[in-house]
Structure 1
């Protein structure tokens, strides 16, 4: 994985996300972005590809953990630093609506996408590649030919989370496809990186990067989920408890304003 020795320069690309975080959580629950004047071909998104082999499918938990790590790895690649070759693409995406789309691949189709700019992360027998954000109209055929549906796999036995890594808690009250969940945990790791950088914790961010951005994806019970909610106080929730929330815009699958993931920094 290509990262700089200290990720501070690359993390500055996420500063628009840091600035928006608290106000974004305080929007009314039913709010969503107005896309009525949007040209679909000009939508910028981060493609993610989930490797799902027919005879050796990954465990869902491992796949989601790989997705979370891969998304933030792209954003904190050394090429996202000022003047880097990825800076413009990632910066334009972060400054706009942050969207991801997950597709599935196997065999030769999986091998074909490895040459496109991005990062592949392996967890167990799961592999996910996150790509440099791009306009929908400019997406290469290696990606457009891949299916979005059909990414469901068995959860597997997640076991005990590795100590000292961020926890990504999935909302136990909603159902999301594996592809949607992959996008949401990718949002969560990006928010964690943005908030660490924004609160001056670049040493912690650098240490996380050196380990390859590991994370543990789990589903809490309903009572624990409610207890962790930032509610209308996102800044104290982060400052005092290391908890950040992913709030969905409602473009696909779930209602706008739904909190899909709670990201908890260890400490």
Structure 2
């Protein structure tokens, strides 16, 4: 069983996978779990927004599919428990000594065109180490950039062009996208993606392109025909509940 199978059961009902609950109850505040995603935002030489989001999207998935997160591995229990519930992520920014300190906690750092993000092993929010908890959450943003056309051979993550998100919020959403996408792939497709380090392309489409690719009321058809899945946000921060923040397409 893949560690991501609970996601497939919840997000792809048409697969007929067993899921005890597709609508998960809210956890008590002291039991809320999240994956910290640390964004390296150096003040003097800030990264590009797009490569930073690509690094964050890859890092989140890489933690889940790391051999240490598989049965018998040291990360398996916390990752499994988190994936089986709400896949919350909390993006924080760090630079200098604080960024270096974050490297000492279990997780995976990914670099894309000089931009770096580190996803940590998830756990209860109340148990986040003080070195991580002190990193700022609010105000993490970067100006829009103009990336080149997305490579045709990488999974494509499209940000909703009609919804404004800070880079921290967008980082969490693209991390959700890679996880859900990976959960739906066949084993050989996932292995092929893994050989490329789970690299992906993040772009913002035109409104017309977004509407053309959007699954609408046929998520099963969108996946089977266009290999597209939508990420719907729970609405805890920045956007309204149920907002589709990202469309992920396996190519």
TM-score grouping bracket, smaller chain normalisation: over 0.9
Residue 262 in 1 paired to residue 251 in 2? no
The answer to which of 91-100 and 15-24 deviates more is 15-24
1:142-188: CA deviations, max 9, x gaps?
A: 11010002211123331122230011000011111110000000000
The one of 56, 59, 64 equivalent to 1:75 is 64
> How far, CA to CA, are the matches of 2:193 and 2:126 in structure 1?
34
Residue 49 in 1 paired to residue 38 in 2? yes
The one of 100, 103, 119 equivalent to 2:108 is 119
- Give the alignment's TM-score, normalised by structure 2: 0.93
Higher relative contact order (CA 8 A, sep 6+): 1
Task: Write the mapping of 1:153-232 to structure 2, written as runs, cut at 5 A.
Answer: 153-196=142-185, 201-232=186-217
Q: Which position in structure 1 is the counterpart of 2:4?
A: 14
- Give the alignment's TM-score, normalised by structure 1: 0.88
1:5-26: CA deviations, max 9, x gaps?
A: xxxx6xx1110100000359xx
> How far, CA to CA, are the matches of 2:218 and 2:146 in structure 1?
34
Unmatched 5+ stretches in structure 2:
15-22
Q: Which position in structure 1 is the counterpart of 2:231?
A: 246
Task: Write the mapping of 1:26-105 to structure 2, written as runs, cut at 5 A.
Answer: 35=26, 38-105=27-94
How many residue pairs get aligned? The number is: 243
The Cα RMSD (Å) is: 1.5
CA contact (8 A) 2:24 2:85 kept: no
CA contact (8 A) 1:33 1:249 kept: no
Residue 150 in 1 paired to residue 139 in 2? yes
Q: What's the offset of the Cα at 1:42? A: 1.7
Unmatched 5+ stretches in structure 1:
1-8, 25-31
Secondary structure of 2:150's aligned partner: coil
Q: What's the offset of the Cα at 1:229? A: 1.2
Q: What's the offset of the Cα at 1:87? A: 1.2
Q: What's the offset of the Cα at 1:34? A: 5.8
Runs of 4 or more consecutive aligned structure 1 residues displaced over 3 Å after TM superposition: 32-35
> How far, CA to CA, are the matches of 1:187 and 1:68 in structure 2?
8
